[in-house]
Structure 1
Amino acid sequence: MRGQGYDGGSNMAGKVSGVQKRILDENPKALYFHCAGHQLNLVLQDACHQNLAVSQVITLLNAVTNFIRDSPKRWSLFNDIVRSENSDCDRPKMAPKSGKIRPLCPTRWVMRLDAVNAFLANYGSILKFLEEISDDRSINGQARSKAHAYLCRMEEFTFYFGMRTLQHLFQTVHPAHKKCQSKNITTGEVQKLTSNLADMLSSDASDEGSAAAIYDASKLSAIELKLDLPSVPRSHRVTHDITDEKVKSYFTSVFTDVMQCASHSILKRFPSKSLQMADLLRRVLEDPTMEESDLVTVCEFYVGDLFHQDVVRERRQWFGMCSRLDKSINVESLRSRMATDQTLKEMAPNMFNALRIYILLPTSSCEAERSFSTLRRLKTYLRSTMSQARLNHLALLSIHRELASTLDVAPIIENFIQKTTTRRNKFGVK
């Protein structure tokens, strides 16, 4: 074992008695990698919790969504309002809004982007819904008071701007998170991906134009929705002379703070000792100018797998061959050559071992956890008496659906029918 990867659960990732620590005590070469997908979720959690305004937006978003969805009567009324507004839309080019507002995912923060997009798309409908609930005297007082309180908060520009800020943050992180869930991504690609993501977020935080653009777009949309005008909270009113520039400066500072917190969280969470060793291993395969001290460090860590003198010789031969053939020097080129040329593995066994270790280092546990998530879809309430053998077979087909989709099912069906006389008679097979 040369690598292990889990999420951040203390039973698996604990530094004192977690599974990764117990394995490292027995095998120091089994580097532990915190799942990159889970870490990006924690980055979003850090950014949202450290800013009070954005944290309150998430709380209210979740409360309003649950308020609408928890009652079939309220849910039906909301969908009627959405359908009515779609039918009365004067702009035919506008896509009809969907009434399917989504609840916030409790664990996967990146997946909250769908909930934020759906909420913003139906913002006007939600306001109208809350108005009708608060004005309907036939509804109990508790529901009416809740609806009125939610309506007052949603009419504030602060809440709407926070929603737009959340949308921008989640949209920026979502592509990187999706890539981190790939089965074939390497530790080097994760480092480049997270480094570029941190730079993008830092650029948004330092660029006044990005914050100003979000503010201006939010202000225009707020005017269309007839929301309250932007204003500075009472705690930030140093004087009574509050100009438009000061109001804009306050909201852009909120946007800047959220982006900066996300960037700092990435830089804090991802540079681990395991990733540093993985980066040295990548440089063994790609970097002809790698310092001798770093090469010695890698060989000493992977003693028994890599031998220093042989690695030096094989690197010199490999890089020289690539330069003569005008081929790029990277992990992918080495992997493709090793896969097609068996003799290269035998001529450069240390480079082959380094490549094999590097590409097998785990970067994400999302794929494994996704296969476990299929259990609820397989063993439903109608299949509660399913045998263990059948469950295992269905789980294999679901987990390896890419391979299963290539199978020729005709002979499998024929074999199934031929098993019993009843099946042969039912399907008319002799």
Structure 2
Amino acid sequence: MLSDLKALGVFFKYSPKRQRTMEASMEAENAKRKAANQPPIRAQKLKLLCETRWVERHTALTDFRELYPAVVHCLQVISGQVATASNVTYDGKSVTEANGLLRAVTSDAFLVALSCNIFLFGFTKCLSVLLQGSHIDILTAYSEITSAKELLQDVRINSDVEFATIYAAASELTSLFGHAHPELPRLVSRQTLRNNTPAPTLEIYWRRAVFVPFVDSLIEQLNSRFSAIATAAVQGLLLLPGSVQSITSQQQQSILDTFSPDLPDSTYFGVELRRWKKKWEGVVVAPETITTLLDAVNPTAYPNITRILHLLLVVPVTTATVERSNSALKIIKTDLHNSMSQERLNALVLLYVHKAIPIDHERVLDRFAKAKPRRFLLSDPTAPEVA
């Protein structure tokens, strides 16, 4: 299904002629909606499925669902199945591709898969936005990923109830082509190249053939992609005051093995951990996050634990930060700024990426004035003159 959407996006993106036909189909669909007192189409055009940014994939799916009637009408016009007043003709390659795409996007299997994708990706859209942000620590990411997996597991357990809504949405799409419900594909007794799941009803067949395997695959992908995050996050959770008393000797050794190369004095980590447990023993109101815990810890008394907490804060959850830095370089390191030093380049990239961090301009001016006292006198032009 996703490959068909990608091919459809390429089909329209690189041809202004096809795009104009698509715009005409959108205008015709909006006219129908206006006559029926329905809201118009908000999406402007089809988007390509981005290979790296998952948020863009969610947007592309929702836009395609909204544009679906206009897309079908446009493909029918290009393939010659529907006549228009414009008398625009297309070459044989465009007609052939339009026929193939029209057959793909109007199949019952495609419509069921599209409805399943839109429903299940709703559980991961907010997670994708969060993971692409620049202000997220590993414990927050672990908590949100765990929550998403638990919700998907509940959907898997209650698949018969959850799929009823999806099946109704797919039936609404198939009704555009005269089918009250998605039809059962042709099945034979020894079929091996397609799903041959036996089922007493149409809804149960599509649930077993499309929905359940997709949910299982999505849960497995979350487990495999974020297994390293889960391991590091669990080690960080053990150091929080609420769970530090339950650390076993095996868990203590695991934390030490993971962070030993970066600790200032790993020899005394065991003794320091015992003092850390004693510090929070019996405390009722204790910090629950790493950020608040760092404000309450004395780095001189607990250097190793402070270093571990700092490392957990800066561990990259995804590669979005690296990709964001590469994107910033194209804007900052231009031909006119090609001779800047490495220190200045790093500072400008940090300022560009972390725009949400406030800057105290007075402190910047004071530091510059102290560092370069001979350049000029930094005075306030609005201050009254002293006689």
Moved more, 364-373 or 393-402: 393-402
Please give the TM-score of this superposition, normalised by the length of structure 1: 0.68
Aligned position for 2:369: none
Question: Which of 270, 291, 296 is 2:248 aligned to?
Answer: 291
* Cα offsets for 1:304-362 (capped at 9, x unmatched): 33521232023212333x33xx3455534312324xxxxx3334444433323332333
Q: Secondary structure at the match of 1:79?
A: helix
CA contact (8 A) 1:206 1:256 kept: no
CA contact (8 A) 2:48 2:60 kept: yes
Q: Secondary structure at the match of 1:346?
A: coil
Question: Which of 309, 324, 335 is 2:294 aligned to?
Answer: 335
The reply on whether 1:401 has 2:355 as its aligned counterpart is yes
Please give the TM-score of this superposition, normalised by the length of structure 2: 0.75
CA contact (8 A) 2:137 2:313 kept: yes
Question: Which of 279, 284, 290 is 2:234 aligned to?
Answer: 279
Question: Cα–Cα, structure 1 residues 213 and 365, in superposed 2: closer, same or farther, change >3 Å?
Answer: same
AA in 1 matched with 2:143: K
Question: Cα–Cα, structure 1 residues 64 and 363, in superposed 2: closer, same or farther, change >3 Å?
Answer: closer
CA contact (8 A) 2:138 2:233 kept: yes
AA in 2 matched with 1:174: K
AA in 1 matched with 2:7: A
Aligned position for 2:379: none
Identity across matched positions, percent: 19
Aligned partners of 2:272, 2:78: CA distance in 1, in Å? 77
Aligned position for 1:361: 315
Aligned position for 2:182: 230
Moved more, 288-297 or 362-371: 288-297
Q: Which has the higher contact order (CA 8 A, sep 6+)?
A: 1
The reply on whether 1:262 has 2:218 as its aligned counterpart is yes
Please report how far the alpha carbon of residue 372 of structure 1 lies from its aligned counterpart in structure 2 after TM superposition.
1.2
Aligned partners of 2:91, 2:357: CA distance in 1, in Å? 56
Aligned partners of 1:113, 1:297: CA distance in 2, in Å? 38
Please report how far the alpha carbon of residue 138 of structure 1 lies from its aligned counterpart in structure 2 after TM superposition.
2.9
The reply on whether 1:319 has 2:272 as its aligned counterpart is no
The reply on whether 1:175 has 2:139 as its aligned counterpart is no
Question: Cα–Cα, structure 1 residues 218 and 353, in superposed 2: closer, same or farther, change >3 Å?
Answer: same
Question: Cα–Cα, structure 1 residues 226 and 200, in superposed 2: closer, same or farther, change >3 Å?
Answer: same
Question: Cα–Cα, structure 1 residues 319 and 333, in superposed 2: closer, same or farther, change >3 Å?
Answer: farther
Aligned position for 2:141: 190
CA contact (8 A) 1:285 1:354 kept: no
AA in 1 matched with 2:292: S
Question: Cα–Cα, structure 1 residues 246 and 355, in superposed 2: closer, same or farther, change >3 Å?
Answer: same
CA contact (8 A) 2:163 2:207 kept: yes
Question: Which of 192, 202, 207 is 1:252 aligned to?
Answer: 207
AA in 2 matched with 1:64: L
AA in 2 matched with 1:106: E
Aligned partners of 2:357, 2:311: CA distance in 1, in Å? 26
Aligned partners of 1:219, 1:82: CA distance in 2, in Å? 22
Aligned position for 2:385: none
Map residues 102-117 of structure 1 onto 2, 5 A cutoff: 102-117=47-62
Question: Which of 289, 310, 316 is 2:272 aligned to?
Answer: 310
Runs ≥4 residues deviating over 4 A: 224-229, 236-239, 242-245, 383-386, 390-397, 403-408
Aligned position for 1:124: 69
Q: Which runs of 5+ in 2 are unaligned?
A: 192-196, 366-387
